[in-house]
Chains A and B, each alone.
Chain A
């Protein structure tokens, strides 16, 4: 049943590969500059361009970072978390 579902989903996705709706997205920045068209970010006002430019590093940091953290938590889960030494000697009481 699972295999059949997968085949049906794969078949349903086939027409998507045949459409040209994503042609504009497939144009690389170098193709764009060769055609004398500005880069999509250059068309934006500078303030918005600044914020939009920060989205990429934010996504690249957040997604793999959270995945790594999630994997680490799963790996560490069966064990008791050892205290993390941040470079401070314990104070005698």
Chain B
């Protein structure tokens, strides 16, 4: 499946903006934090689907010949993915507003709260690294499709 670059850019922008607000529960308060997280969960799946070819391609070639930077890119991306999954799962398990509103009542185990905080903080840190590692792609794509400037591609 060939995904249009404009769709990739839109998916990226929506994803990172949502994550930014999800990462600030002090601003949004817990109920909004939980609902935004559920929306983010779906956009995160879309983001992975949109970039699926890159993920599969690099995973297959990881132990073969690859540019050093691409191989290095893979490590924080994989860590970021693991932290995101941990934050989402633990977040669902400590949900105080969204899940009860959907009629799902679970007993909150205090074990998940520090795990959620740790994985969420590490995810934010790894998002910074993730954005920095792909910064050239982001700026080139932004110049080309948002500002309609000719880039070196």
Measured CB to CB, the residues of A under 8 A from B are: 41, 49-54, 56-58, 60-66, 68-69, 72, 76, 81-88, 90
Contacts and interface: CB of A to CB of B under 8 A. Distances in A.
B8 interface: yes
B137 A57 contact: no
Q: Size band of the B side of the interface?
A: 20 to 34
Interface stretch (B20-28, B41-49, B84-92, B97-105): B20-28
A82 B21 CA distance: 34
Contacts of B4: 87
A49 B26 contact: yes
A53 B24 contact: yes
A83 B121 CA distance: 33
B10 interface: no
A51 B133 contact: no
A87 B8 contact: yes
Nearest to A44: B26
